[in-house]
Each structure stands twice: as C-alpha cells, then as structure tokens.
Amino acid sequence: MEKLTSAPRTGHATLLYSELVTDLENLQADIAILGMPFGSAYGARSFTNDQTNAPQAIRDVTDRIVRAPDHYDFDIDGPLLQGRSDIRFVDCGDVIPDLKNPGDHYRRVELAVRQILKGGGLPIILGGDHGVTTPVLRAYSEIGPITLVHVDAHLDWRDEVNGVKDGLSSPIRRASEMKHVVHIVQIGLRAQGSARPEDYEVAKQYGADIITAYELHDVGMDAVLARIPDGGNYYLSIDADGMDPTIMPAVDGPAPGGMTFIQARKLIHGLVKKGRVVGMDIVEIQPSKDNASKLTCVTAGRLIVNLIGSTIKAGYFDK
C-alpha cells in the first residue's frame, strides 16, 4: 500500500500523548487522529495558507490541553482514556501532499480515513480549511446513513468558487450530494460569508435544519439536540469560526455571538448518547492569529478530549 501520511514535523510528536502510527495498511485502533493540512485552493496563493499549520499547532499545545493523560479531568469525569489500558489511541500523522498533482491529497485522505474505519477506528481530523470535510465524508460511503452535524458561522453551500467545487465554501453542498448523507443539521450560523441568497434557498430546499447562533442562544442546546434524530450515525464537523471568537479567535472570519464551549461540550456529549458519533473534524484554525495563550488550539484540543472521554464512557470501544 502507498504511504499516505507522514509524521508530524516539529514539537509534540503526536496529539495528547497518543501512539504515532503512519503505516495504515493493517492499522487496528480505537481512536485515530489524522492531520489534513491542505484543502482545495481557489488560487495559487492559497494552496499553502495558515490553516495548513493548524494540525501541528494543535499538537504542540498537547501539554496545555491535557497536563498528563492519567490525571482526573472534570469535563469527562475521569482521565483521558478513563483508566482503560485496552484502548488503542493513535496519531496517524499528516496526509502527504503532492505538488506535482495538487489534488491528490484529497484521494489520499479518503483512503486514509477508509483505512482507519476498516481497522475499527474513530477518525478525528485536524484541518486544514473546511474543504477537507468533503473527501473525508466520501470515505464513509459504507458507514451510512450519516447525519452530518455542522457547526459554523457560515452556510458552506456554494456550488463553486473560481470553478473549484470542493473548496472551503462548498463542503455542505457536496455532502448533500452523497447518498450516504441523509440529514444535515447546521448550527451557529450568523453574520455574512460567501453564501448568496440562492445558496440559502438550495439548502432549505434540500431540507437542511439551519439553526442560527441566535436561535441556539434563545432555545438552548438541549432543544437543538432534540431536533436531531435519535439512533443515528453522526459525523460532527466543527469550523472554528462557528465558535465564539472569545474562545476561538484564530480564524479568518470571526463574528461575535458564536457557540460557547459549554454548548459545544453539551452537543458532543449529547450526540454520543443519542446514537454513535462516527467521526469529527475541526477546521479553519489560523495559528498565526491565536493569542498568547494559544486559546484557539487549546479549545480545539478540549473539544477532542470531550469526544474521546465521552465515547469511552459510553462503551463505544468495549471489546
């Protein structure tokens, strides 16, 4: 099998003290981190953008996210892996780009996620811009039906931008075209992005359940969770700008009034209990814009901690 990923470049070798594994051919794991630094650029200058640095930036604050994996964590009512020695938690490194074939990393990330799923793993993807969600979701074609839960300030239903159909403005439009994605819930929308009125109409005609940040704050996350069908396979895609910029400031399009950490934590734990979370990505972090405490990357890591801890407590990996 071709080599799909490479080890992290600098700093912490893995996220949250996990085991580094870049040979995915016979991978057997319960939880697998995968860095996907590159999206589908709208122009030559954006092929390498600040988001490409995010996977390593998140890894590099590992010891701020979790001081030690065996310490008690109040978010998850126990240590990171809940004291379980039988949980295999791995970091698969970053998907390798090919500058001679600029789109090939989308094929590689799809293959990498398929290998993780084949080996029984729960993929957690570190973007990269939001374009990375498209090839990741394609890898779930045999796992469906999927309910896509999307946290974002923006709609992401553009059909194309500059002729590019799988870039950061289009992942939810592309997801709506996948047969295994049967329901889409979008939470936290506010302000203005690249969507035009016709894109909003297409989303509504499809049947996307669009919950603005203002509705979320009015009704609360419990009411939002009640609108998501029970017993599903949930894929959670979190664009950092969907969160409030007071806790995730390092984004390209900050807008006040976003989802709070408490709400996001409740969403994660609620989905884990309602059905089965089959994957998650966190995208659109621009590390150069983070504050001195690296709060954006720490927050991303804490969301991942909540997913890991809650899935283990819910018995996802019981043998």
Q: Show Cβ contacts of residue 30 under 8 Å, excluding neighbours closer than 6 positions.
A: 87, 88, 89, 120, 121, 122, 316, 317
pLDDT, position 148: 98
Cα 4 from Cα 96, distance rounded (Å): 6
Instruction: Determine contact, residues 130/171, Cβ cutoff 8 Å.
Output: yes
- Give the model confidence (pLDDT) of 40-84 as tens digits: 776 666 666 899 999 999 999 999 999 999 999 999 999 999 999
pTM for this model (two decimals): 0.96
Cα within 13 Å of Cα(247), Cβ side: 19
Paired strand residues for 211? 187
CATH 3.40.50.1100 for the 5-313 domain, yes or no: no
pLDDT, position 43: 65
pLDDT tens across the length of the chain (319 residues): 888 999 887 788 899 999 999 999 999 999 999 999 987 776 666 666 899 999 999 999 999 999 999 999 999 999 999 999 999 999 999 999 887 787 889 999 999 999 999 999 999 999 989 999 999 999 999 998 999 999 999 999 999 988 888 888 899 999 999 999 999 999 999 999 999 999 999 999 999 999 999 999 999 999 999 999 999 999 999 999 999 999 999 999 999 999 999 999 999 999 999 999 999 999 999 999 999 999 999 999 999 999 999 999 999 999 8
Burial of 202-228, coded b for 16+ CB within 10 Å and e otherwise, reads bbeeeebbbbebeebeeeebeebbeeb
Q: Which residue has the tokens 């990393």?
A: 105
pLDDT, position 232: 95
DSSP string, 109-151: HHHHHHHHHHTT-EEEEEESSGGGHHHHHHTTTTT-SEEEEEE
